[in-house]
Amino acid sequence: MEQAVTTVPLQVAQEIDQLFYQRTRICLWLGAVFFSFFSLLDFVHAREFFTLFLGYRLCFVLILIALLQLLRLQEFKHHCRKVMFGAILLGTLVISLMTVQLGGFSSGYYVGILLMIAGGFSVLPLNISQSLGLGGAMYIIYALTVYLGSPPVSGEELNCFINNTFFFLSIVIVTTVQCFDEIQTLLSSLRTQKNLRSINEELQEYTGGLESLVKERMAEQEESDLKFRDLYNNILDLVVLINDRGIIQMINHHGAQLLELSSQALKNRPLTDFLPPQDQDILTKKILVKLARGRQVQGMQMRLLTYQGRLLDVELSGNSVTMPEQQLCYQLIIRDITLTKQIEKQVLESKQLLDTSRQAAIFGLASLAECRDEDTGAHLLRIRAYTRILATELALSPDAPAIITDTFIEDLCISSMLHDIGKIGIPDSILLKPARLTQEEFAVIKQHCDLGSNALASAERDSESRSFLRLGQEITRCHHERWDGTGYPAGLKGEKIPLAARIVSLVDVYDALTSTRPYKEAFSHEESCRIILSESGHLFDPVIVAAFLRREQEFDGARQQMYPTQILPVI
């Protein structure tokens, strides 16, 4: 801030210092609240690290509260910039440490740092050098922490690093431009306030020569008006003055450039001429109505249509003003957020592409366990379909476990296909034997539970997709456990068997019963339902059996649709 205040009077500089101090306290309080609030995100998307992340967050929040208490002391007030910058950099380090735990550069948790930049830089009165310096320091902390705390950077990780760097630097540049605009406006406002105070003091001091003093002050006011108009025309946002019918009365230079017409050509034209048809009602039926009632409009997003037909995403704020010799008008400040929207879209598309690629890779991996048996070609797809039907029905139950969320169901459907991944390690002579297995051969078959679970545990250590891999471990290890405790490999009983494994256990048996195998013919749907019902409380959880029976017709429909073999894309 030193560069900004060296060209202004000391009193103005002191007012800026006071403003920085006030906003620093606001930012620290907001940081404490939001850092605590985002523990909910950790609980949903990084549950295995919830305790560690909660510790990080609580330590950081306690530090913020301690800094707030220090700033209440008079001797610490002039250190508020150092306190604020230190808190921001510490918050960057905390988020970077979380990012390391969640996969390094491929983790989306770095978005928390971008939110700090967008929020903090928009509130604090920063100049260009401070904004760029602080943004650069935050980037260096993020890059070094993730690089030093993650495994050697692979080609995919490098792509993620380049992608993250692009968005990081874009946000820093955009917020720096905003900081420059706001600090200039702030300085002009403080100078104007200082001049008004000076005028009032002089008017109170002089009682004679009022006429000459008024003329002098009117000349100064005209000069001030010219300066105001110059500032008005150089604001980077579109600033437009409209009447109660939405007709443009005045528009600044930047706004005219944005709409691709001159200020003179825009005057007395309806603002709706520059809105797409589907957005015109937003102006006439929402914005103008709200302003006519004396209320402000803030942060409303809509689109503008330029004279050349370009569509712009914008954010609009407005309030009513009274102009000399004019009726009541409305001033609208419109900010172009097209670039921000494009970045948001690119981030969303990147996430969707990653999700699709991940599911395709999982299906290909799970298919390895089935490729040696031609009779089970559609087994994985049927298991996924049955699992979705059964989990959805369980979620509709009034006493459904809290764990059954939409995210749980999606992860369960993905991980259910991995239930027999351990069979890759079983010899063909045993796995494909058409006759009954000996006790020794059956003991070898049982090993596929531990083989699959251990393989997924190894993969989890190097993956950010910990939610479905953790479910996959539970399913591969426990889908042959029995409700009465007579299953394998651990002999778990009742609710000690993970819910995901209990669900997949039933759908796996249903598919086995209704499918033809080298050693048996397929049972009918009706006979399979009777067998499953007879095993309620023995092989299966009674609650899950009841849910199956409520939806057994959908099981039969899915079986007929995908049997004997369909090759379907992973969605």
Given this model, what pLDDT does residue 563 score? 63
Q: CATH classification of 343-562 is 1.10.3210.10, yes or no?
A: yes
Burial of 268 (0-12, 13-18, 19+ CB in 10 A): exposed
The structure tokens 């403080």 sit at: 190
Which of 258, 360, 250, 252 is closest to 306 using CA atoms?
A: 258
Q: Where are the domains of the chain?
A: 2-193, 235-336, 343-562
Helices (H), 417-524: 428-431, 439-460, 466-478, 499-513
Q: Residue 344 in contact with residue 171, Cβ under 8 Å?
A: no
Q: Residue 102 in contact with residue 164, Cβ under 8 Å?
A: no
Which of 505, 556, 551, 568 is closest to 527 using CA atoms?
A: 556
Which of 467, 470, 487 is closest to 478 using CA atoms?
A: 487
Q: 230-268 pLDDT, tens per residue?
A: 555 566 678 888 888 888 878 887 778 788 888 788 888
Fold of domain 235-336: Beta-Lactamase (3.30.450)
Distance CA 59, CA 96 (A): 15
Which of 167, 220, 155 is closest to 194 using CA atoms?
A: 220
Laid out side by side, the sheet with 328-336 consists of: 248-251, 238-242, 328-336, 311-322, 297-305
Distance CA 547, CA 313 (A): 48
What is the phi/psi pair of residue 105, to 5°?
-65, -20
Distance CA 87, CA 89 (A): 6
Q: How many CB atoms lie within 10 A of CB 473?
A: 23
Task: With a cut of 80, say whether residue 169 has pLDDT above it.
Answer: yes
Looking at residue 286, the DSSP 8-state letter turns out to be: I
Q: 474-526 pLDDT, tens per residue?
A: 999 999 999 999 999 999 999 999 999 999 999 999 999 998 876 778 999 99
In the chain, helix, strand, coil percent, each to 5?
70, 10, 25
Task: With a cut of 80, say whether residue 403 has pLDDT above it.
Answer: yes
Question: pTM for this structure?
Answer: 0.41
Q: 323-339 pLDDT, tens per residue?
A: 665 577 888 888 888 87
Q: 353-393 pLDDT, tens per residue?
A: 445 545 555 655 555 555 555 444 478 889 999 999 999 99
What is the phi/psi pair of residue 541, to 5°?
-65, 125
Looking at residue 18, the DSSP 8-state letter turns out to be: H
The two structure tokens encoding residue 375: 């009779």
Which of 466, 456, 475 is closest to 416 using CA atoms?
A: 475
Looking at residue 401, the DSSP 8-state letter turns out to be: -
Instruction: Report how far Cα 360 is from the mean position of its chain's Cα atoms.
Output: 23
Q: 264-312 pLDDT, tens per residue?
A: 888 888 888 888 888 878 888 788 888 888 888 887 888 888 888 888 8
Which SS3 state, helix, strand or coil, does residue 448 take?
helix
- CA atoms within 13 A of residue 55's CA, in its CB half-sphere: 4
Distance CA 419, CA 561 (A): 22
Domains 235-336 and 343-562 share a fold: no
Given this model, what pLDDT does residue 498 score? 95
Q: 412-453 pLDDT, tens per residue?
A: 998 888 888 888 778 877 777 777 788 888 888 888 888 878
What is the phi/psi pair of residue 150, to 5°?
-110, 165
Instruction: Report how far Cα 419 is from the mean position of its chain's Cα atoms.
Output: 31
